[in-house]
């Protein structure tokens, strides 16, 4: 490969499998040659995980959008009583999944919700338990580090006790990656001061991994963070992954400004920024196996191109996404499995459906 001018040293490190430094990460964000960056990330992806692209046949369950945190980048959260606010009953949650079960290949649930001001931890747990008991064959992935921190705060239990109860009573098999946003006190202090801090989010992941529960990681970028803060975020995740090895996939979420307070002063990221961030994530997170192109936020065409910029995971069928569509996502609210298979095959790769722990269910060579 012909390295971009002044980037030969980084290319050499990548080809030798050497770890990139903070300084390297920052330089990559200024690299003018996006094609070279993509080629580097694709080289590492191929070497590390081959040509399989993972996806889930799953259903998203968002129990409530009522949330005490009111993050400035969020279009989903509402105050109690506000127009559009909802809080599902147990029966409504069960009915949503019954409807999704019309797809005979449905394999699992992804449960994330707002921080409801009056729901107790027992209430959340009761709904998840009912879902797990009614649909024992569906895998259960759910709750972010933010929600789990909230459950500990409102119940008086430790993070470990909350996780054990979610696992043992609610059937929780893996933790969702959201809520990491940018792991910086400066950014969180300005955008989301009323929810888990960076350290608390990391502590949930650390505790879960020690209990043998895998989790995902994410980064919400393209708002008020600096490029240095993006790199530092990746380094904090890399450091924890060195310690525990418990992260399964990393998801880049570009900020979607529509219907958010922050959107009045911040524009949406460009496709180039999305692809660059995807590629740099693959290069910096050398101890993560999977990097996800989340089609809901990126749009389907950009997610397909992102498969050539380091990604090997394209999320899933989703079955009615709502959180990001409130923020103006223009992608469909769901894709069929056949659509996902086609998208992956068109990118020249091998689609494989998997459970929430990346065990392959079906592979389409």
Among 25, 38, 77, 254, which residue sits at the site for ligand SF4 (rule: CB under 6 A)? Answer: 77
Quick one: which segment of 73-81, 124-132, 234-242, 261-269 binds ligand SF4 (CB under 6 A)? 73-81
CB of 146 to ligand SF4, least distance (A): 5
Q: Of the candidates 191, 194, 202, 64, which has an alpha carbon nearest to the alpha carbon of residue 145?
A: 202
Among 21, 70, 244, 333, which residue sits at the site for ligand SF4 (rule: CB under 6 A)? Answer: 70
Interface residues for ligand SF4 in 128-167 (CB under 6 A)?
146
Quick one: which segment of 35-43, 65-73, 168-176, 309-317 binds ligand SF4 (CB under 6 A)? 65-73
Quick one: which segment of 71-79, 166-174, 274-282, 356-364 binds ligand SF4 (CB under 6 A)? 71-79
Among 71, 107, 175, 205, which residue sits at the site for ligand SF4 (rule: CB under 6 A)? Answer: 71
For residue 2, count other CB atoms closer than 10 A to its CB. Answer: 10
Q: Of the candidates 213, 115, 205, which has an alpha carbon nearest to the alpha carbon of residue 166?
A: 213
Q: What sign results for the dihedral spanned by CA atoms 170, 63, 81, 297?
A: positive
As to burial, measured by CB atoms within 10 angstroms (0-12 exposed, 13-18 middle, 19+ buried), residue 106 is: buried
CB environment 40-62: b (16+ within 10 A), e (fewer): bbbbbbeebeeebbbbbbbbbbb
Is there binding between residue 196 and ligand SF4 (CB under 6 A)? no
Is there binding between residue 69 and ligand SF4 (CB under 6 A)? yes
Give the position of tokens 């920024």: 273
Among 59, 67, 231, 293, which residue sits at the site for ligand SF4 (rule: CB under 6 A)? Answer: 67
Among 39, 61, 74, 138, which residue sits at the site for ligand SF4 (rule: CB under 6 A)? Answer: 74
For residue 288, count other CB atoms closer than 10 A to its CB. Answer: 22
CB of 2 to ligand SF4, least distance (A): 42
Query: What values do phi and psi take at 68, rounded to 5?
Result: -80, -15
- Give the C-alpha separation, 41 to 35, whole Å: 10
49 is in an annotated binding site: no
Fill in the DSSP letter of residue 183.
-
Q: How many residues bind ligand SF4 (CB under 6 A)?
A: 12
Binding site feature residues: 67, 71, 73-74, 181
Binding residues for ligand SF4, rule: CB under 6 A, are 67, 69-71, 74, 76-77, 114-115, 146, 192, 195
Binding site feature residues for S-adenosyl-L-methionine: 73, 181
């Amino acid at each position: 490969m012909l390295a971009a001018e002044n980037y030969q040293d980084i290319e050499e490190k990548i080809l030798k499998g050497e770890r990139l430094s903070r300084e390297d990460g920052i330089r990559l964000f200024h690299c003018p040659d996006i094609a070279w960056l993509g080629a580097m990330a694709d080289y590492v992806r191929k070497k590390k995980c081959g040509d399989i692209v993972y996806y889930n046949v799953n259903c998203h369950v968002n129990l409530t959008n009522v949330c005490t945190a009111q993050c400035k980048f969020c279009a989903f959260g509402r105050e109690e009583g506000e127009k559009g606010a909802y809080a599902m009953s147990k029966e409504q949650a069960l009915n949503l999944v019954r409807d999704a079960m019309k797809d005979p290949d449905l394999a699992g649930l992804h449960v994330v919700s707002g921080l409801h001001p009056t729901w107790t931890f027992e209430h959340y747990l009761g709904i998840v338990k009912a879902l797990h008991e009614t649909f024992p064959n569906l895998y259960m992935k759910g709750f972010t580090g933010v929600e789990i921190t909230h459950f500990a705060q409102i119940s008086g239990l430790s993070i470990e006790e909350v996780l054990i109860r979610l696992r043992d009573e609610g059937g929780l098999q893996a933790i969702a990656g959201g809520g990491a946003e940018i792991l910086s006190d400066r950014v969180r202090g300005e955008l989301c001061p009323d929810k888990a801090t960076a350290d608390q989010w990391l502590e949930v992941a650390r505790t879960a991994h020690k209990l043998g529960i895998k989790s995902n990681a994410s980064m919400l970028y393209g708002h008020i963070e600096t490029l240095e803060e993006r790199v530092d975020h990746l380094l904090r995740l890399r450091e924890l992954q060195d310690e525990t090895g418990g992260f399964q996939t990393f998801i880049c979420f570009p900020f979607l400004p529509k219907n958010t307070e922050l959107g009045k002063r911040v524009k949406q990221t460009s496709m180039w920024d999305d692809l660059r961030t995807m590629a740099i994530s693959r290069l910096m997170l050398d101890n993560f196996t999977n990097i996800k192109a989340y089609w809901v936020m990126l749009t389907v065409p950009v997610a397909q191109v992102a498969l050539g910029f380091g990604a090997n995971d394209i999320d899933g069928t989703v079955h009615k996404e709502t959180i990001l569509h409130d923020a103006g996502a223009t992608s469909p609210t769901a894709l069929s499995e056949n659509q996902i298979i086609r998208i992956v095959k068109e990118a020249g790769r091998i689609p494989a459906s998997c459970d929430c722990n990346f065990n392959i269910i079906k592979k389409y060579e």
